[in-house]
Amino acid sequence: MNWLAHIFLSEQHIDFQLGNFLADPLKTRLWNHASKELKEGVRVHKIIDSYTDSNKIVIKSKARLKEKGLLKSIVIDLTYDYLLTKNWEKFCNIPIEKFSYDFYTKANKRAIYFPQKANTLIKGLIKRDLLNKYQDLEHLKIAFERIDLRLSKRLLARDTAISYYDAVCDNIILLEEDFLEFFPMLCDIVKKEINTKKIKHWKI
């Protein structure tokens, strides 16, 4: 799952949400004296990734794309965020525009108390409005192209994210069926790990 899903799958506490966001770019290593909510966000991020990577439905989604490919997991992560955006009202009782605005506002205020690297990552997320980059398939294509810009020449010679775009479009109905089956299962897993009184934004 990508940024939008991780922040949605968090307790409504800004440190928890930021821990869930920062886990990947900081390689799950927080600074000394990080709050317990930040640590909990990182812990839940690991659970989300572990469950997603081993889930049979997600594996089926990957198989709908190229037979082989180094970037299939990244492509499915981004595609699932697009599908979460598309189906947002099924899962969240807060409109996505308000959800992202509220998160950005709180994150911007909180980031000034974090170490420079974390601060920069958060400000970059907000500046680039990364929670709202998956409004349609054309925006998803741009996201794939943006991934390729960050890849090394060696990796680009072996695989590119944009090379999956046609397969994603051709299989988008089936991928959406996969997502709508998988995401409630993921939510159930996360519910076991968090305070359910703090996920009032969830519909499920």
pLDDT recorded at residue 149: 95
1 close to 91: Cβ distance less than 8 angstroms: no
Sign of CA dihedral 46, 48, 49, 51: positive
Find the domain containing 108 and state its range.
3-193
Cβ neighbours of residue 103 closer than 8 Å, sequence gap 6 or more = 7, 14, 17, 131
pLDDT recorded at residue 133: 85
pLDDT recorded at residue 67: 79
Cβ neighbours of residue 26 closer than 8 Å, sequence gap 6 or more = 117, 118, 121
Q: Is residue 150 part of a domain?
A: yes
Q: Is residue 107 part of a domain?
A: yes
Low pLDDT (below 70) residues in the chain: none
Q: Is residue 25 part of a domain?
A: yes
Q: Is residue 186 part of a domain?
A: yes
Total domains in the chain come to: 1
pLDDT recorded at residue 66: 84
Within 10 angstroms of residue 98's Cβ, the number of other Cβ atoms is 10
Q: Is residue 199 part of a domain?
A: no
Q: Is residue 49 part of a domain?
A: yes
pLDDT recorded at residue 204: 83
pLDDT recorded at residue 134: 87
Q: Is residue 200 part of a domain?
A: no
Ramachandran category for residue 202: left, alpha or beta (phi over 0 → left; psi -120 to 50 → alpha): beta
What gap in Å lies between CA 161 and CA 41, rounded to an integer?
28
Q: Is residue 198 part of a domain?
A: no
